[in-house]
Structure 1
Amino acid sequence: MSTFMQAQIMLTFANLLITGAPLIADLNKTHATNPLWIGHARFHVVWQVLSYGCLGLLNMYIIWRKPSSESLAVSCAILACIIIGFFSAAFSVKRFGGAFYDEKGYLPFAHRTIMGRHVEFDVNAVGFSFFGLILMIAAAMSFYAP
């Protein structure tokens, strides 16, 4: 299998994680149909995750239809926008009164004290960190593929 094909496969994996995970995680009672959320917030989460799903389908087309180094770079850029959007929201969460989780959603899966500070490990933050790492590997593979 060529290095280019390996890059396509890795980028497909990154695409499925980044655009597919929110569809699975958010279109349920923890988010989209959570009665504790106001209707407008539920509208926005459904809009967001369905947009990610559409971007994922577009990305599959970009990756596999007429693959080139340029098309893989565009695919990486699209996925990077989603990752950057997540971390921009994460780092500004206090500015808009947001939260990483609520009682009816996905609670932190671990609590640790690191350098004297209490740290909660949130599913979203850990997941999107992992997804970002996979994307960086896929991007590097795409860049170095002949």
Structure 2
Amino acid sequence: MSDLITPGTRWLITFATLAYGVGPFIIDMNRTHLTHPAWPGHARFHLLWSAVSQLAVAGLALWLVWADSADPVWHCRLAVIIGLGMNSGFWGAFLFRRAYRGTLHDPQGIPPLWGKLDGNLLAVSLITALLLVALWQTWP
């Protein structure tokens, strides 16, 4: 069963995991988010809490993917399921954004690509797609 886990599958999971784990530190730890002067301190606290949690969970997922294991298929599937769970938060926030007056981007932040396509939506769509492909690759 371990022959289902190819290096390509491991790298797909790794790329997606690094994107959702490290991505927020690269994108959100700046003046448009964490140090935004108009954000309440409690909102900043929650952002950093969330980002550190994502980083920790991504570390666990990477360990599952690359550690020696008697059942590497299960480890990789679990890493994918964890990643899909982490990204489900984005999809929930996206679907219900009108209920809480949320927006996909900050007007002073990174503008939508080509004036229309939000970078968050594009990134999380790609991450989700990579994880679903990896899950499909590990299923008998």
Common topology (TM > 0.5): yes
User: Contact (CA 8 Å) 2:5, 2:73: kept in 1 or not?
Assistant: no
More strand by share: 1
Distance 2:120 2:100 in 1: 18
Scaled by the length of structure 1, the TM-score of the pair is 0.84
Corresponding residue of 1:117:
none
Corresponding residue of 2:25:
23
Find the partner of 1:130 among 120, 126, 131: 126
Q: CA deviation at 1:143?
A: 2.4
Find the partner of 1:55 among 57, 69, 73: 57
Aligned positions of 1:1-146 closer than 5 A = 3-67=5-69, 68-111=72-115, 120-144=116-140
Give CA deviations for 1:23-56 in whole Å, capped at 9, x if unaligned: 2111122211111211111111111111111111
Aligned sequence identity (%):
27
Name the amino acid aligned to 2:44: R
Give CA deviations for 1:122-144 in whole Å, capped at 9, x if unaligned: 11011111111111122222225
Secondary structure at the aligned position of 1:94 is classed as coil
Bigger mean CA offset, 99-108 vs 30-39: 99-108
Distance 1:62 1:102 in 2: 35
Distance 1:102 1:5 in 2: 38
Q: CA deviation at 1:64?
A: 1.1
User: Contact (CA 8 Å) 2:80, 2:131: kept in 1 or not?
Assistant: yes
Q: CA deviation at 1:19?
A: 1.4
User: Contact (CA 8 Å) 1:83, 1:132: kept in 2 or not?
Assistant: yes
Secondary structure at the aligned position of 2:139 is classed as helix
In structure 1, the gaps of 5 or more residues are 112-119
Name the amino acid aligned to 1:62: L
In structure 2, the gaps of 5 or more residues are none
